[in-house]
Every structure is written in C-alpha cells, then in structure tokens.
Amino acid sequence: MIAGAVYKVYHEVDIVDSGGDVSRNGYLGEFEQMVLLAILQGGEDANALQVRRELETSAGRTVTKGAFYTTLDRLEKKNFLTWKARVPDEGRRGLPQRHFRVTPQGLDELRKSRAALVNLWRGLDEVLDTA
C-alpha cells in the first residue's frame, strides 16, 4: 500500500518537474528529498551512479535517468547541492565524474521537510498500520 503511494507520488513528481518549480511552497518535492538523502547516504564523495543506485536499492525500483539528472540540475540551481568534477585515472573514456555534496541550505530544507512530515504522521500509526 505504502509502496503504491510512493509510486504514485513519484510519478506525479516526475511529470510535474518538467513543468517547473516543484517547491514553490518552500517544501522539497518527494523525489528531491529522496535524491538529497541518497547523496547523504553515499557519504562524502557520492557520485551520480552511487546516488542513483542508493535510490534504487532504498526505494526498490528503477529511477529514470532523465528525471534523476534534471532533478540534480534543479537542486543545484536552488543551491541545495554542489559538486566537484574529477577525471578518474581509468575508465569512463577520460570523461569527468561529478561528486555531489548537500549544502547547508539543503540540509536545512531537509530538516524542515522532516519536521513537517513528522508532525503530519503524529497519531496516525494505528490508522495507517491497519489500512
């Protein structure tokens, strides 16, 4: 049931995000949150592949590359993440690799979202567990 809900929300995010600014109201979209959290999970120098794989294992489904990369772009524009590029010694045919980091503003935003969600979840455990 919950997985179903996540799936649905994800798809709405996916459709809307091509239309522009998801977090007009100040909150992060769900997919944006997931991306930022996955970067944090990946540790200091998470690269795009690690972040996406983290998302896929945690959420248990595939993430389309289009949605993923454009979300990264958007989060960068909002100053929620930064990256540094490095060219690895081997592999990738000499093309650069980006390593992502969540900015202090990004961390703030995650905290706000969590607080809002925790408030909304309060007292609903019974209802949702039986549903």
Q: How far is the CB of 95 from other proteins (least distance, A)?
A: 3
User: Which is closer to other proteins, CB of 84 or CB of 114?
Assistant: 84
Say what the alpha-carbon torsion angle 9, 4, 41, 18 is, to the nearest 10 degrees: -30
Q: Rounded to the nearest 5°, which phi and psi values hold at 56?
A: -70, -40
* Position 60 contacts other proteins (CB under 8 A): no
* Position 73 contacts other proteins (CB under 8 A): yes
Closest Cα to residue 53, out of 39, 33, 66?
A: 39
* Position 114 contacts other proteins (CB under 8 A): no
* Position 66 contacts other proteins (CB under 8 A): yes
User: Which is closer to other proteins, CB of 19 or CB of 123?
Assistant: 19
**Angstrom distance (rounded) from CA 119 to CA 106:** 20
Q: Which of 2, 5, 95, 120 binds other proteins (CB under 8 A)?
A: 95
Q: Which of 8, 92, 111, 114 binds other proteins (CB under 8 A)?
A: 92
Q: Which of 24, 26, 44, 94 binds other proteins (CB under 8 A)?
A: 94
